[in-house]
Amino acid sequence: MENKQHGKDFVEEGGQIAAKEQKGDEKQQVGEHAKLELTDFRLLRTLGTGSFGRVHLVQSKHNGRYYAIKVLKKMEIVRLKQVAHTKNERDVLMSISHPFIVNLWGTFQDDVNLYMVMDYVPGGELFSYLRKSKRFSESTAKFYAAEVLLAIVYLHGHDVCYRDLKPENILIDSTGNIRITDFGFAKRVPDVTWTLCGTPDYLAPEVIQSKGYGKAVDFWSLGILIYEMLAGYPPFYDESQFRLYEKILTSELKFPPHFSAEARDLLKHLLTSDLTRRYGNLKNGYRDVTEHPWFGDMDFEKMLHRQVPAPYVPPLSGDGDASNFDQYPEEKMPYGLPHSDPYGRYFKEF
């Protein structure tokens, strides 16, 4: 198929420009005429929690639209040595825009917390849908893998290594298309980096071995994601993190019998510790993946324009429906109260 050949320029230029223009228009309505602040929004409910904060569903008082606000405790970010990761997340998200990546509309802070205002993606996590389905058919897995791949290609074109690809970080929007979220480990990597970060099941061998590594780690993680979508579980697993790392470094890849020959072949080329053989890292770049027979019937140009029907459209009663997210106990501590701010100096950009 010819239109698979001219992905890169289009993915990096056309897709970016169209998305940026749309983002600019809406920013005026979110409240960019003035600095965003907590009083611009009505806090509705918690969508998720993490080690140093939580994500809330909110409604803008300016345009009535729903957003997700990620609230991060400054003290916890500093205590857990996540200052650089937090700044990276903001810097990367403020500089990119893509149909399959969550938009960051703005950031602000008070004495205690940082706030990141992002798209609300109402369909919940791909992880939840995968667990309910047990495993995906090859056509369903291919749809999600293609959208993730286009987002990765776009990021790599901007020298961004994502480093945390997993079903929990892929959200499903109201039309059934994906949005990648949580850029806490994303980093500009023109050549190599050394930080050990990511989710154990998805770590590439070169990260575990503390070698300098580059963007090829995202293609390894794409292989793990495809495998998990098709099997219902990741290819390497162990309760012990040490033994898990050992398996990633030494175990031979085994496939369930229902995997097609094309899927097995693609996964062998993605899940190889030999970087001189890993697809995505060779002379032909990402095209080795897009032109692989497993993606033979995929029109990536239509996919980028969200013109390929999604295999699943989440049930939603309206824009602010949060029924696809788990319920969490709400925090009693109100935000925005005056307090001493010993950590504000670390977060001047917010």
User: Model confidence over 117-172: pLDDT tens digits?
Assistant: 999 999 999 999 999 999 999 999 999 999 999 999 999 999 999 999 999 999 99
pLDDT at 332: 81
pLDDT in tens, 45-100: 999 998 888 999 999 999 999 999 999 999 999 999 999 999 999 999 999 999 99
- Pair (81, 200) in one structural domain: no
Of 164, 182, 218, 288, which one is the catalytic site residue? 164
pLDDT at 159: 95
pLDDT in tens, 207-229: 998 888 999 999 999 999 999 99
Q: What percent of the chain has pLDDT over 90?
A: 81
Is residue 312 a part of any domain in this protein? no
Is residue 154 a part of any domain in this protein? yes
pLDDT at 7: 35
- Pair (294, 232) in one structural domain: yes
What's the rounded mean pLDDT across residues 232-244?
Answer: 94
How far apart (Å, rounded) are the C-alpha atoms in residues 283 and 94? 30
Q: Is 164 a catalytic residue?
A: yes
- Pair (158, 111) in one structural domain: no
pLDDT in tens, 251-287: 899 999 999 999 999 999 999 999 999 999 999 999 9
- Pair (146, 236) in one structural domain: yes
What is the residue range of 51's domain? Answer: 16-122+319-342
Mean pLDDT of the chain: 89
pLDDT at 194: 84
Phi then psi for residue 25, to 5 deg, are: -60, -45
Is residue 2 a part of any domain in this protein? no
- Pair (110, 166) in one structural domain: no
Is residue 243 a part of any domain in this protein? yes
pLDDT at 52: 84
- Pair (50, 176) in one structural domain: no
Question: Who contacts 163 (Cβ-Cβ below 8 Å, separation ≥6)?
Answer: 185, 186, 187, 197, 198, 217, 218, 221
- Comparing CA positions, the residue from 277, 232, 276, 238 lying closest to residue 255 is 232
- Pair (132, 222) in one structural domain: yes
- Pair (132, 87) in one structural domain: no
pLDDT at 264: 98
